[in-house]
Amino acid sequence: MQAIAIAASGIAFATTRFDASAQRTARDPLANLGEEIVERIQAETALKANVAVMKTADDMTGALLDILA
């Protein structure tokens, strides 16, 4: 299902964003701290949204299979 592949891609991208922000903060903790916090919150929100999409797509697929069975 295409929705699951798209959500998986979104999860990978959100994880990459979060990791990159954490690495930037580790290199220079006081540089752009506010921006990095916002970046991590946005990455976390994107991750949660993509997980919700994946769960919904899985539920819909299960419901469709139940109907067809």
pLDDT tens digits, 28-56: 988 899 999 999 999 999 999 999 999 99
Exposed, middle or buried by CB within 10 Å (0-12, 13-18, 19+), for 22? middle
Q: What is the pTM of this model?
A: 0.84
Domain ranges, ordered by start, for the chain: 2-68
Fill in the amino acid letter for 62: G
58-63 long-range Cβ contacts below 8 angstroms, 24+ apart: 58/4, 61/1
Interatomic CA distance for residues 60 and 42, integer angstroms:
27
Mean pLDDT of the chain: 94
Phi-psi region of 31 (alpha: psi -120 to 50; beta: other; left: phi over 0): beta
